[in-house]
Structures are given as structure tokens and as C-alpha cells.
Amino acid sequence: MPGLIHEKRCLPPVAGVDEAGRGPLAGPVVAAAVVLPARRVPRGLDDSKKLTAKERARLCALIEERAVVGVGVVEPQEIDTLNIYWATMKAMTLAVDQIAATLGCVPGHVLVDGNRLPRWSYAATALVGGDGLSLSIAAASIVAKHRRDAIMIAHAEAHPHYGWASNKGYGCAAHLAALREHGPSPLHRRSFAPVAQAELPLR
């Protein structure tokens, strides 16, 4: 279970950062940054992948009520321009910049899930498996996942063929079949191979 060991080693305020949506064929990549409160940290924070959608929604509401939260969103067109790695780095940077603007100062330290850091001036540490180690990163993972899922569910109404309400843009069999039948939507990432292949003319 995640705890506050890593946060206690850092100069406050400490922001945890995580992203959602690197792998899908459609939709944005979303990053969140969270500075937890000194008291009343929501109970049950964990890696978002270990939680149900209902639990994520409940915890996201508590996090946004009690913590300082920043969110960065990079849309598919920019993902295609930058590539998904740099788009993810940009989303993380936008999220932490928003935290800094809200706090009126830069975070004392930033804990980032993964093994790479954006090119920024913030003091930061990359933690592999950070969403299972740090409560701040776990909170960020919940916010990023819940926010991105909400975006894809909203887009599903305008693009019902692809089943985004359930698959959130990931390349499951039903999504791939719909992609072959209907072609890409404006929200598909054309730099991703299955989407690029769906655009090729049939011979």
C-alpha cells in the first residue's frame, strides 16, 4: 500500500504526478498533480488500476475537495505531432505548472510515477511503481484516470461506434473492428499503427 515515506524525505510542498492514457488509440493523454493536505488525507488511496470506477469517482471528489490539484491534457492531434512520450511529458508539466500557479510558489519537490522526468526546473524524483509507493502519486493516478475516463465517456455519445464508454479508447477487439469498419474519428491518434492501418485503402 502507498504511504508518505517518500513525501517525508522531500522539501514541502510535495506534489505527486501520474498520467493516464498513454496506450489508447483515441483520446487525450491526461496527467494530474496533487499536493495532499497535512490533515484529512482521504482514506483508501491506491494505484488507480486497483480501484473500481465507483471508488475512483468517490476518491477523486474527495481529493479535489481537500487537496491542491492540477490537471494537464494533451489532445490527439498534438500527440501525433509530439509523439506519445513527449505529449505525456507535456501533460505532466502542465499539471505541475497549474499546481505552482494555485500555490503561488513552486512545489518543494515533485514525485513522478515512472523512470523518466520531464525537462523542467522543478526538483523531482522518478519512482518506478510510484502509484503503489506514494500516497501523493496514488492520488494523482486516481484523478488522472477518472478525469480521462469522463472525457472518453462524453466523447462516446458523439462517436458511438467505437465503444469508448467501456473501452476508453484502448484497442480491444470491438474497438479495432469498429475502426476497420468505420475508419478513424477526429479523436483517433493517427500516429498509432492500428489507426494508420485503418486509413489505408483496401486492395
CA 55 – CA 88 distance, rounded (Å): 25
Q: Per the annotation, does 47 bind a ligand?
A: no
Q: What are phi and psi of 168, to 5 degrees?
A: 55, 25
Q: Which amino acid is at 29?
A: V
Q: Per the annotation, does 18 bind a ligand?
A: yes
Question: Which residue blocks in the chain are alpha helix, DSSP H?
Answer: 5-8, 53-66, 76-82, 84-103, 135-158, 164-167, 173-182, 193-198
Q: Are 111 and 125 a contacting pair, CB within 8 Å?
A: yes
Three-state secondary-structure class, residue 33:
strand
Q: Per the annotation, does 65 bind a ligand?
A: no
Known binding-site positions for a divalent metal cation: 18-19, 113
Known binding-site positions: 18-19, 113
